[in-house]
Structure 1
């Protein structure tokens, strides 16, 4: 598909004045930065077409995208920090559908948040890590109060999601980038984690709408503090999943500051073992995304020993919260 033609067609469906368009990246979406010439008005154009088929899901459907945008609109009216506010097209619609070469692609536009994309280096002091914990807690506070209708559809991060990750690992075994022995260890670990997840309650205090992709590259440092961007994978899951994601890029010695920042706003005890399981699943999500990309198969072979070591530690009941990094153990 010629996506250059596609974004040009999308641009015409909005009231942009002499726009300058810059390609950003193609991951779960194809994204462009759109700046109106002669002004400071800047936008993010998203074409909801993931780079690989195994990233497709309800989040790419018109209903799923509209639900995400409805949440952002509601969040923007409550957040004291900037939010990526959805921009309607000339017909007043939040989701724009275009047809290119007989394929339909859903698109959306968000206002650009002014600031700097954060990096891992930004989270090397207690103050910043604690602030991140607080920002996640404020987001969850809002989610607990957010009321949505029956047409609100987003991904669910529960047992079916876990089984899907394991299925994608199985495809890696079939093509030979994961050995039979490694897969068996993974399978045993997934069984352990699944059994523990089945025993958890999904009450309003523990389960709700989450960002589901907390990563430093999805955080913007603004003049007023840390703002979240990229709710493209947002959906329903354990609130602890967002905390677990943040812990993965936080230094071991600062992870308690992340938790204290969070619990300073939401006074609820966080189960470390639950966080470890979610951190494990988050890491596995990275691996299975790369299984579908041939150019990443060498990376998988280089790093999978770390993941297997993590599996073996979890199977032995070891506490690993303070030494997991984003590819496995050895933080």
Structure 2
């Protein structure tokens, strides 16, 4: 597909006058930075076309994109920090669909958030990590009150999702990327986590709209604090999943600060075993995503044994791994 032709056609659907366009990356979306010449007006253009079929899902549908943007609009009116606010096209629509080479491509435009992408070095103090915990909590607090209509559609991160992650990893074993022995241990780990998830309740306190992709590249340090970007994988899941992803970004010794920051806003007991389960699922989902990328096969083959030794085996033996991975 001629993506240059595609984004040029999309730009005509908006009120841009003389924009410059810079490719950012092609991952779950193709993203461009759009800047109006002679001004500081800057936007993010997303073409919702994943780089591999392995990444396609309900989140790529027009209905799901529309729902994500509706959530961002609602969140922007409550958040004290910058939010990627959706921009309507000339027809007043949040989602723009163009047909290129007989294929529909759904696109959206968001206002740019100015700041620095965070890194591991930025999360090296109790204060910053605690602040991240509070930011995740504020997001969940809003989600608990968020009202949406019957047409609202986003992915769900429950049992069906965990099974799909395991299926993708199984294809890695079939391709010889993951050894049969290692895959059996992964399979046993999933089985234990499935047993734990079966008894988890889906109450307003535990289950709701989550970011589902908290990583360094999706945290922006702005002049006003830490903001979340890229809600492209957001959906309904256990709030513990976002907390677990936050924990994976921090040093072992600082993870209590993350939990402390979170519980200072949402006062409820945090189950460390649950966090361990979702930490594993977040890591496993990343490996599953990379399985379809041939350039990453050697990396997966090299790193899976470390996950087995340092997480799966202790986890299956009933040991606490939250502070060790």
Shorter-normalised TM range: over 0.9
Aligned to 1:280: 280
CA distance in 2, matches of 1:146, 1:114: 26
CA distance in 1, matches of 2:72, 2:120: 25
Deviation of 1:222 (Å): 1.0
List alignment gaps of at least 5 residues for structure 1.
325-331
Aligned residues: 324
CA distance in 2, matches of 1:304, 1:118: 26
CA distance in 1, matches of 2:91, 2:118: 35
Aligned to 1:327: none
Q: How does 1:128-207 map to 2 (within 5 A)?
A: 128-207=128-207
| Aligned-residue RMSD, C-alpha | 0.6
Deviation of 1:156 (Å): 0.1
For residues 103-159 of structure 1, what are the alpha-carbon distances to aligned partners after superposition, in whole Å with 9 as ceiling and x for unaligned?
A: 111000000011111111100011110100001100100000000011000000000
Provide the secondary structure at the position in 2 that maps to 1:299.
helix
Q: Could you tell me the TM-score, scaled by structure 1's length?
A: 0.97
Q: How does 1:299-318 map to 2 (within 5 A)?
A: 299-309=299-309, 310-318=311-319
Aligned to 1:36: 36
Provide the secondary structure at the position in 1 that maps to 2:254.
helix
Aligned to 1:211: 211
Consecutive aligned runs of 4 or more in structure 1 exceeding 3 Å deviation = none
Aligned to 1:328: none
Provide the secondary structure at the position in 2 that maps to 1:190.
helix
Aligned to 1:323: 324
Aligned to 1:226: 226
CA distance in 2, matches of 1:179, 1:117: 36
CA distance in 2, matches of 1:182, 1:130: 35
Q: Could you tell me the TM-score, scaled by structure 2's length?
A: 0.99
Deviation of 1:180 (Å): 1.3
List alignment gaps of at least 5 residues for structure 2.
none
For residues 236-284 of structure 1, what are the alpha-carbon distances to aligned partners after superposition, in whole Å with 9 as ceiling and x for unaligned?
A: 0000111100100101110000000000000111000000000000000
